[in-house]
Amino acid sequence: MSGPCLIVPLDGSLHAAAALPIAQEMARLYGGTLAVIHASEPALPAAAAAAATGLAAARFAGVVVEGVAGSPAQAIVRSAGEHAAALIVMCPHTTVVPPDRRIGRTAAEVLRRAPCPVLLVKPLRPPAPWTPRTILVPLDGTPASAAAIHPASEIAARAGAGLLVLHVTGARRDRPGEPGTLGAPRYTDQPQHEWTAWAAEFRERACQLCEVAAGVSVRLFLAAGDPGGEIVQFALAHQVDLIALAWRGTLEDVRAATVKTVVREAPCPVLLVRF
Amino acid sequence: MEVELGGSYRVDRLVAVDATEEAARARLRDRTPDAVIAAHVEAWRRRWSLAAIEVVGDEAAERALRFAAYHLVSAANPDDDGRASVGARALTGPAYRGHVFWDTDVFMLPFFIYTHPPSARALLGYRYRTLPAARERARGLGLRGALYPWESADRGDDVTPPAAVSASGEVLPVYSGLEEHHISADVAYAAWHYFEATGDDDFLVEEGAEMLVETARFWVSRGRIEADGRFHLRGVMGPDEYHPGVDDNAYTNGMARWNLERAAAAVRLLDERRPERRRALAARIGLGEGEPAEWLRAAAAMKLEADPATRLIEQFAGYFAREEIDLALLEPRTVAVDALIGLDRLARSQVLKQADVVMLLHLLWERFPVEVSAANFRYYEPRTAHGSSLSPGIHAATAARLGDLATARRYFRQTAEIDLADNMGNAAGGVHAGALGSLWQAAILGFAGMSLRDDGLAFTPHLPAEWRALGFAVCWRGRVLRVTLDGEATELALEGEAPMVVAVAGAAPVEIAPGGRVVVRR
């Protein structure tokens, strides 16, 4: 293999296959190798694994296909570790699930345990060409949430994309307790000066928290309301091609409400970076 | 320079900044680093002996007040010749481009008037030097007198940007530069306040009266007595910038009325004390004999009154009919309300960026019965979103004067946090110098309850329970009065050449001799 390794798991369903063109474009951008893995017990030889994905052989040009043993989630995580994968590209579910539960069990376990960022692609996405031209990084103002900026900016640099940073504020909400958190201003004495100054400081502070790839332009936006809903609306309005979100890695119960909403409703792939 | 491992070295470098290299070098001639440092320390010792505030029992409050005093002392140059003032962020950051707002005249200036009058004088010198530009601005609008710019820079021209780009990318028109005409009355207020507190006749004669006259002339040309017999000012915006284009804004009308009355008083004073200067001024600016009477007629007819039943002053014509929005439903809130609700809906609502009526009561406290102040504070306080950093400090001062100490403490703490908490998203832009001035006012005019008398000063203290004592100094007409307040007594020590009278609430006024010390028990 040359360059970084990207993994795309395919279970033979039409749903899962939607991830392949996105994964191939990401591998091209990274200059890396794409490994298609198919999990079964026992593991299938490569040719049989390729056949089991249900896709024509022509779809696998320049791709490594592996059959791996074990449950799908275990196999994906283990393969990512063995290949020191830079990215796992997969669908959040590959069977029909209730509308309120759009992250299936396999994807949920991979998200919890993956040693690298995970790019979730909407199942049944048409196999249209995809290139990230506009990338959105939502920030809640905590230093932790800025973890998504670096990987997003690397993709932006490689794709020649612009980076949009969105801070969503709202009522009935306390400021996050994490030290160094920066929110929207409590006072806008003179909007003609205040927003310019705030935007410059917010952008500067966020970019200081992580390395922004050279040559990437960063624009800041503010929205008010429910974070998940606002992120989705913004992505639709600005024709965003990729959303990069930092998250804590916990999906249980009421946790990660924003991540769940964005994954469920976003019009584009969602890159989840755990901090 | 060769250095040795483990050695300790000191490197001094003297830097001077001036308009030319020659002038800069002249500043450094015959000066040594040690002498410069010693002079610096001595200058700070002198200023700090007047500016420092002691709050026994509340270390955080004391730290916040000293933080405010430190930045304010650093901001103004008493030796300035009127070419510079203090910008909204002083020199601590690039935000607001160094532009000068009413923040300086109304929020910062009292600190300088009472702790270092020469600094206050220099700041007023800037407004006098830019008076020609203010005249030109009024003339450009087809009006008389002087209209100071909402944002002022080196020459005093209006440098307010015409539009703002909001954080959501919207281009918003900026009405403040077009409609916040109260700035002219604010400058006049500053001039008179300085004159009253310092007794600086020369200032009134040489600069102050002219500023008062020209701003009064502006008001009589800006509004008119209409068919109802009342003087109306239409199409203005008060300090509450959520409501542009309103008629009879209470703050604007109230301050304009005060401006008109004080201009007439200034001319009368000149007549009495320096008639030759009055004649010279009249000749220079074409002041007609009948003008003061015209100002007083406009003032007497000014549309501004409290409802006799509710005691409420309507913030502007039609305000009471606007949509009510319960701000408590938005709490907890860490962002300005305009980012949540939007300026269009705010303009149709009763939600205030800062309460113009409360601001008016604060500046002209003695003019309104305390029942009117209390009723209006109770009405407007829950409708005020404090979208301006200038707002909570004034609410702290007003609540303290009304004896509502829990509310006063809450707003005092909110004001103190503006620059000290670093969670506002704008620390890099510099300190909020106006808010720092309002914190000083909350402590001295609010909790200590200081006000001017013709023959001295008065104090009506309302100290928070945890403030076991409050100590500070104030300058009054060439004297320095050192004040220590606690729950039971007020200790007063006078420095200077002449006696003064001090009245402490609940006790008979006392005359204090130079060098004297008096304890007034309550």
Determine contact, residues B123/B85, Cβ cutoff 8 Å: yes
Given this model, what pLDDT does residue A127 score?
80
How confident is the model over B102-108, as a mean pLDDT?
98
Give pLDDT tens digits for B341-366: 999 999 999 999 999 999 999 999 99
Q: What is the pLDDT of residue B522?
A: 79
Residues of chain A where predicted confidence (pLDDT) is lower than 50: 1
Smallest Cα distance from A190 to chain B, Å: 8
Please tell me what DSSP assigns to residue B389: T
Residue B501 pLDDT class (50, 70, 90 cuts):
very high
> Helix-strand-coil percent breakdown of chain B, rounded to 5?
50, 15, 35
Catalytic residues of B: 241
Residue among B97, B169, B339 minimizing CB distance to A184: B339
Instruction: Identify the pLDDT of residue A161.
Output: 97
Give contacts of A202 with chain B, Cβ < 8 Å.
425
Complex ipTM value: 0.90
Residues in Cβ contact with A206 at an 8 Å cutoff, skipping those fewer than 6 apart:
A139, A146, A149, A165, A182
- The predicted-structure confidence for B506-519, as pLDDT tens digits, reads as follows 799 999 999 999 99
pTM: 0.93
What are the residues whose beta carbons fall under 8 Å from the beta carbon of B5, sequence distance 6 or more? none
pLDDT score of A182: 85
Measure the CA–CA gap between B418 and B221, rounded to whole angstroms. 39
Is residue B19 classed as helix, strand or coil in its secondary structure? Answer: coil
Cβ-nearest to A192 among B174, B339, B427: B174
Verify whether the Cβ–Cβ distance B96 to A174 is below 8 Å. no
Shortest distance, CA A260 to any CA of chain B (angstroms)? 24
The torsion defined by the Cα of B338, B343, B348 and B352, in degrees rounded to 10, comes to: 40
* Mean pLDDT of all residues in B280-307: 97
Residue A90 belongs to what H/E stretch? strand A87-90
Percent of chain B whose predicted confidence (pLDDT) is above 70? 99
User: Encoding tokens for residue B501?
Assistant: 């009278």
Q: What's the pLDDT at A88?
A: 98
Q: Does the beta carbon of A192 lie under 8 angstroms from any beta carbon of chain B?
A: yes
Q: Is residue B408 pLDDT above 70, yes or no?
A: yes
Inform me whether the C-beta atom of residue B152 falls under 8 Å from chain A C-beta atoms.
no
Query: Looking at the complex, does the CB of residue B421 fall below 8 Å from at least one CB of chain A?
Result: no
**What sections of chain A are H helices per DSSP?**
14-17, 19-30, 46-52, 72-82, 105-113, 149-159, 191-208, 227-237, 257-265
Nearest C-alpha of chain A: how many angstroms from B387? 5
Do B336 and A188 lie within an 8 Å CB cutoff? yes
Residue B200: alpha-carbon gap to chain centroid: 19
Q: Is B255 exposed, middle or buried (0-12, 13-18, 19+ CB in 10 A)?
A: buried
pLDDT at site A2: 64
Burial environment of residue B323 by CB neighbours within 10 A (0 to 12, 13 to 18, 19 or more): exposed
Average pLDDT for residues B322-327, to the nearest whole number? 97
Whether residue B495 contacts residue B510, with contact meaning beta carbons closer than 8 Å, is answered with no
pLDDT tens, residue by residue, B435-462: 999 999 999 999 999 999 999 999 999 9
Q: Look at residues B486, B476, B474, B480 and name the one whose alpha carbon lies nearest to residue B519.
A: B486
pLDDT average, residue stretch B59-65: 98
Residue of B53, B71, B76 whose CA lies nearest to B63: B53
B24 touches chain A (CB under 8 A): no
Residue B417's CB is within 10 A of a number of other CB atoms, namely: 17
